[in-house]
Amino acid sequence: MMPKTDPRGAIAQAIAQATGRPFRPSGEAAAGGGCINDARVLHGRDGSRYFLKLNAAPRRAMFEAEAAGLAEILATGTLGAPRPVCWGEADGRAWLVLEHLELGGRGSAAALARGLAAMHRVSRPQFGWRIDNTIGATPQPNAPDADWVAFWRARRLGHQLELARRRGAGRRLIERGARLLEVLPAFFSDYRPVPSLLHGDLWGGNYGYAGGEPVVFDPAVYYGDREADLAMTELFGGFPAEFYAAYREAWPLDPGYGVRRGLYNLYHVLNHYHLFGGGYAAQAEAMMGRLLAEAGA
C-alpha cells in the first residue's frame, strides 16, 4: 500500500518542470539502489523512464550533493554518468530523480581506466570541494585546504577516528589512529599529489556499462590524490587486470602507491566500522599496525 503521505505528485510536477514536458506516470518498479535509499524506476505514459531515490526529509542535502557531484563529473566529458533531473522534498520524503541508464552487457575496462585517468587530470587549486557530501550515509567534510596531508588528517582519517571514538571503539584502535595521524607526513616525504577530481567511492558496485560505454554513479566527489580512487578499486576484490594496465599506461603511478593504498583504504574500512560495526574494527587496527610499521613508528 502507498503511504498516506506520498511525494509522487510533487515529483511528477518537478520532472515536468525540469524537462519542459508533462510527465504522466504509468507505474514504477523497485530497483537496486544500495542499502541507503529506496530506489525505483519511474515509467511515464510516453515511454520515458527515470531513476528515483527516496529517503527521509533530512537527507535532502545528501541528494543535492550527489546531484552536484554527478554534474561535476559530467562537465568534464571524460566518463558517462546519470544526468541529474531534479530533486527536492515533499510529504516528509527527500527525493532525487536521475536519468535512467540501461546498464548491462559487456564493456571495456580499459576505456573505463582511460576515462578515469582523464577525469583525474581535471584539477583545482585546493584539495576538497565547494560543498560537503556523504560517503555512504556518513557525512564527508570537504572544506578546501592547499595542504593534502593536513586535509587527509583532518577531513578524512581524523574525522573517521572521531566517529569511531563516538561509536565506542577500543582503546588500541584509537591510540593507533592517533599515532598514525602524527606520522602521516612520512608517507609523503617525496610525493606531492595534485588535486584531482575524484569519484570518491569507486568500488565495483558503482560503475557499469550503458550501450558499451563506461558509466559511474553514486559518487562522493571531491578533489584529492588520484591514488585514493585507485586504492578503493582494489578494496573489495579489484577491477579487471586490463583496467590497471590501461590506467598506468595513461598516467603512471608513483612507486609509493603500494604503501599509500592502505592509508587511503583505511578511511573506507573505518567508515564501514562506523556504519556496520562488526569485524571492521579489527581490520582497521591491523591496517594501522602495518602502516605504522612502514612509517617506522
Catalytic residue check, 132: no
- 3-state SS class at 247: helix
The secondary structure element, H or E, covering residue 111 is: helix 109-120
Which residue in 297, 271, 295, 296 sits closest to 283, CA to CA?
271
The angle at the Cα of 30, spanning 61 to 200, to the nearest 5 degrees, equals: 40
Q: What is the C-alpha separation between 13 and 179, in angstroms, rounded?
A: 53
Residue 52's Cβ-count burial label (10 Å; 0-12, 13-18, 19+) is buried
Q: DSSP string spanning 115-166?
A: HHHHHHT-B-SSBB-SS-EEETTEEE----BS-HHHHIIIIIIHHHHHHHHH
Cα-based distances in Å from 39 to 54, 74, 78, 100: 6, 22, 26, 12
* Dihedral sign of CA atoms 155, 158, 160, 163 in order: negative
CA distances from 215 to 36, 52, 80, 290 (A): 21, 18, 4, 34
Cβ contacts of 24-31, under 8 Å, gap ≥ 24 = 28/52
Strand 222-224 versus strand 196-198 pairing type: antiparallel
Given 91, 201, 218, 229, the catalytic residue: 201
Which residues are part of the catalytic machinery?
201
